[in-house]
């Protein structure tokens, strides 16, 4: 059983999506021990004893994460199918690089396809979230 | 497995062998554990400094999620001729250390790749380590890849590593092409023209024109054979220039 099927069907955490099931689209991106992976390319058994973060865990206590807020404000989503993966990949980027350039953002979401081609909004949202998160760190 | 290239009856996950994930310098060699992730390789200071071509190759593999998970041992054992690390490791004359229950072997990367997805590995062997000799001062390398889109396999890739002596004499040169045959392919004619010669612009141009000689890359839905051959020449020249400039101490 694939990790993504385990998350969705056994744990009923359906926020993680299955887009292509071939490792191309990144809709199933989750964090495994703090790094992003495609959960359709891992067997569930391989994640035994690991820490997994899905989109359900990104917002704390019902409060949207600054990244989620920024996606909302800057229209970083159209149909929303790719959004959970986009958020996880962006989160991974911002953990490493708190002030990424536009090119760095584009490279970071290379593995996430948006079939609505809404990339402009996504890149804008990640940029906005980065400056907001930096602002809150500086306070 | 996902691409239905393999359908094994049983699988052993070796990801738990965390002791196989390391990059260290020992006796003139950089030793890279088989489970070193592409992401580690591309960001490692030692690799960036000693083998920029290897860091560059690791950095253009697929996407971040794949680089977080994929390993050097896995990439070499898989032996896709359009993949980045087989071409890079062959250029650096890496030795591949294998391990079975009773035996450890060291296989030169020149002898390791046998055919499409086929290597010198025996059924009961795994890759344990990749060992790359540290080049002398005034050495430099580069990796250039042409792909359709950012995260795809190479249509054509070129890796070059050069060591210069006094007066820009070429003491050692290694040029390997990816995506033009069933394994990474050494551009021997190019190497022959450069070794022992004083490196200058015109010679680099001449040597690059030799790189595609004798090749018959398979056309595919992304590029014709002719396009691939033209790109081999162009990319070889570009890659050699970067390698030479790095060997001279620039970037």
B65 vs A38: CB contact, 8 Å cut-off?
A: yes
Cβ <8 Å between A110 and B63: yes
ipTM of predicted complex: 0.95
B49 interface with A at CB cutoff 8 Å: no
Whether A139 has a pLDDT exceeding 70, the answer reads: no
pLDDT > 70: percent of chain B: 99
At B49, list the tokens: 């400094």
> Residue B238 pLDDT > 90, yes or no?
yes
Domain A66-134: CATH superfamily, name plus number: [2Fe-2S]-binding domain (1.10.150.120)
Residues in chain A closer than 8 A to B62 (CB atoms):
111
pTM over 0.80: yes
Taking residues B114-119, report their average pLDDT. 97
Question: Is B236 exposed, middle or buried, given 0-12, 13-18 or 19+ CB atoms closer than 10 A?
Answer: buried
**pLDDT above 70 for A25:** yes
Q: pLDDT at position B111, please?
A: 98
> Average pLDDT of chain A?
95
DSSP string, A79-119: S-SSHHHHHHHHHHHHHH-SS--HHHHHHHTTT---TT--H
Contact state of B64 with A38 under an 8 Å Cβ cutoff: no
Please check whether residue B2 lies inside any domain of the structure: no
The answer to whether the CB of A15 falls within 8 A of the CB of A53 is no
pLDDT tops 90 at residue B187: yes
pLDDT digits (tens, 9 = 90+) for B30-75: 999 999 999 999 999 999 999 999 999 999 999 999 999 999 999 9
- Spell out the domain ranges in chain A: 3-57, 66-134
Is A92 near chain B, with CB under 8 Å?
yes
Q: What is the mean pLDDT of residues B226-231?
A: 96
Q: Say if residue B197 is in the same domain as residue B98.
A: no
> Which has more confidence, A133 or B6?
A133
What six digits make up the tokens of B52? Answer: 């920029």
Kindly tell me if the per-residue pLDDT of B85 is higher than 60: yes
* Domain at A3-57, CATH homologous superfamily: Beta-grasp domain (3.10.20.30)
Let me know if residue B234 belongs to a domain: yes
Average pLDDT score over residue span A24-49: 97
pLDDT-derived band of residue B152, with 50, 70 and 90 as boundaries?
A: confident
- Residue B2, chain A, CB below 8 Å: the answer is yes
A51 within 8 A of A106, measured Cβ to Cβ? no
pLDDT band for position A62 (cuts 50, 70, 90): confident
Residue B7: inside a domain, yes or no?
A: no
Structure tokens given for B33: 């554990």
Indicate whether B4 belongs to any domain: no
- CA dist., res. B21 & res. B98, Å (int): 15
Alpha carbons B144 and B198: distance in angstroms, whole number: 23
B13 touches A: beta carbon within 8 Å: yes
For residue B251, pLDDT over 60 is answered with no
Confirm or reject contact between A103 and chain B (CB < 8 A).
Answer: no
Q: Which of B13, B69, B151 sits opposite A110 (nearest CB)?
A: B151
Contact between chains at A22 and B3 (C-beta distance less than 8 A): yes
pLDDT at residue number A137: 63
Instruction: Give the span between the Cα atoms of B204 and B191, in whole angstroms.
Output: 10
Backbone φ and ψ of B129, nearest 5°: -155, 155
Candidates A115, A15, A30; CA nearest to B68 is A30
Please tell me the distance from the alpha carbon of residue B204 to that of residue B212, in angstroms, as a whole number.
Answer: 14
State the residue range of the domain holding B186.
139-247
Examine the domain organization and report whether B21 and B129 are in the same domain: yes
Provide CB contacts within 8 A for B70, sequence distance 6+.
B37, B38, B61, B62
Instruction: Say yes or no for a CB contact (<8 Å) between A37 and B65.
Output: yes
């Amino acid at each position: 059983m694939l990790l993504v099927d385990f998350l969705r069907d056994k744990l009923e955490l359906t926020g993680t999506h299955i887009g292509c099931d071939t490792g191309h689209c990144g809709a199933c991106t989750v964090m495994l021990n703090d790094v992003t992976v495609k959960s359709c390319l891992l067997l569930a058994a391989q994640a035994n004893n690991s820490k997994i973060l899905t989109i359900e865990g990104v917002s704390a206590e019902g409060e949207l994460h600054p990244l989620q807020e920024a996606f909302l404000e800057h229209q970083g989503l159209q149909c929303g199918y790719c959004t959970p993966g986009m958020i996880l990949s962006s989160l991974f980027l911002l953990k490493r690089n708190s002030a990424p350039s536009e090119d760095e953002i584009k490279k970071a979401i290379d593995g996430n396809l948006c079939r609505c081609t809404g990339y402009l909004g996504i890149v804008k949202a990640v940029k906005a979230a980065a400056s907001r998160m930096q602002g809150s760190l500086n306070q | 497995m996902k691409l239905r290239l393999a359908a094994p009856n049983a699988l052993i996950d070796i990801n738990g062998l965390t002791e196989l994930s390391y990059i260290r310098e020992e006796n003139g060699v950089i030793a890279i554990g088989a489970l070193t992730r592409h992401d580690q390789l591309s960001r490692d200071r030692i690799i960036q400094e000693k083998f920029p071509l290897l860091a560059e190759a690791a950095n253009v593999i697929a996407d971040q999620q794949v680089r977080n998970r994929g390993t050097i041992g896995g990439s070499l054992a898989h032996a896709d001729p359009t993949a980045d690390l087989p071409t890079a490791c062959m250029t650096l004359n890496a030795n591949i250390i294998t391990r079975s229950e009773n035996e450890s072997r060291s296989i030169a990367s020149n002898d390791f790749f046998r055919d499409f997805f086929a290597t010198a590995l025996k059924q009961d062997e795994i890759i344990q380590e990749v060992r790359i000799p540290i080049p002398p001062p005034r050495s430099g390398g580069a990796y250039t890849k042409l792909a359709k889109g950012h995260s795809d396999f190479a249509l054509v890739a070129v890796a070059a590593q050069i060591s210069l002596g006094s007066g820009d004499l070429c003491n050692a040169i290694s040029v390997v092409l990816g995506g033009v045959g069933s394994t990474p392919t050494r551009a021997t004619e190019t190497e022959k023209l450069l070794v022992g010669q004083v490196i200058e612009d015109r010679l680099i141009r001449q040597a690059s024109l030799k790189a595609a000689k004798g090749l018959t890359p398979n056309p595919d839905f992304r590029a014709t054979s002719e396009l691939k051959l033209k790109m081999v020449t162009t990319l070889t020249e570009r890659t050699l220039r970067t390698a030479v400039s790095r060997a001279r101490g620039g970037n």
